Amino acid sequence: MTNKEWIKLTLAHEETGAVPYNALCCPTARKRLEEYYHTDNLIGHINLPIRMGGASSIKPLYADPAIYGDTITDEYGVLWTTNTIDRGSPIGPSLREPDLSNYAFPDPTAAYRFEGLSQWCEENKEHYTILWVGDLWERATFMRGMEDVLLDVALNRSFVEELLERLADNILRTMEIYFASGEFDGIAVSDDYGAQRGMLTSPNDWRELVKPQLARIYDLGKQHGKTVFHHSCGSFVPVIPDMIEIGLDILHPIQPEAMDIDMLKREFGKDLTFCGGLRTQDLLPLASPEEIRKEIRRLKKTMGAGGGYILEPGITVQDDVPLENLIAMVEEMQAQ
């Protein structure tokens, strides 16, 4: 069975005898594992069945200050801090006022964004390949600032509607180039809707503002036969049925500190494949290796029952996880 076949069977809610896994690490955590395993390609070494790629940005996800300086500005004009352990923080919004009349959106068709994409698709064709298409609500929070965009939802609603529509337009144009660039299996949206104890907006505001644009993105993916993968941190249970309704296939990373993932499996397991669920706020950085192994075995048994589950940490593995815990995680993920 190839990696691609493994994921396809899992998505079809068939048990394969082994639960597939994914493990994305920040650069410093990845480097420690690569040094331990004597490899410069951790993803290939541990044979992740899912491979994720996408368009390039003038601001890398992890921008090293030794290369880019203490701050960097992205395509949308947002100023970010840089560091070696995470993606940094958006500290300089590009939209100081709720007005798009003088704002120029970046060109989603710029050639630099897609350099090497066709080759990447070809090199990873034996695996289940998913391409990140962009972010919608999350991008609006970067461009406007979280506090201001939440106020805009109440006070400048037409501006928020226009901003999200224009961002969705850029994502759709990106996707069209993807479809012409090579063969791949799914699209991925990164768009955080939740905080630790609830949604950032009301469910009704989400339905009125975000859902219509998200539906356009999902629908275009479905028209081209692609699986739809969605990343959202935090708790957003009220709108999961809406996401299923418009075509969601894989929900990521189901943070167990914010949502009851066993409830998610019971309530939505017949409709979704879940990807994630391994605690990163306390378990991975603070527990013993054996406690981590025990929890992974539990997740395989409970979340993996009936298929529809890909084991992964509840967010990208951070720099605070000790090496012995990283090793326990990798080894137990791979155990049959």
Tell me which of 1.20.1330.10, 3.20.20.210, 3.40.50.10110, 3.90.1150.10 is the CATH number of domain 3-62+104-334: 3.20.20.210
Phi–psi pair at 161, nearest 5 degrees: -60, -45
Spatial contact of 199 and 210, defined as CB atoms under 8 Å apart? no
Domain ranges of the chain: 3-62+104-334
How would you write the pLDDT of the chain (336 residues) with one tens digit per residue?
Answer: 999 999 999 999 999 999 999 999 999 999 999 999 999 999 999 999 999 999 999 999 999 999 999 999 999 999 999 998 999 999 999 999 999 999 999 999 999 999 999 999 999 999 999 999 999 999 999 999 999 999 999 999 999 999 999 999 999 999 999 999 999 999 999 999 999 999 999 999 999 999 999 999 999 999 999 999 999 999 999 999 999 999 999 999 999 999 999 999 999 999 999 999 999 999 999 999 999 999 999 999 999 999 999 999 999 999 999 999 999 999 999 997
- Residues with Cβ within 8 Å of 324's Cβ and at least 6 positions away in sequence, in order, are 289
Would you state the pLDDT for residue 336?
A: 78
Structure tokens at 261: 């993932």
Count CA atoms within 13 Å of residue 93 on its CB side.
17
**What is the model's pLDDT at position 41?**
95
Q: How far apart are CA 264 and CA 228, in angstroms?
A: 18
Residues listed for the chain: 336
Residues 255/315, Cβ–Cβ less than 8 Å: yes
> Is the backbone peptide bond immediately before 285 cis, with ω within 30 degrees of 0?
no
∠ CA 114-118-119 to the nearest 5 degrees? 115
CB distance 112 to 75 below 8 Å: no
What crossing angle do the helices spanning 27-37 and 323-334 adopt, rounded to 10°? Answer: 70
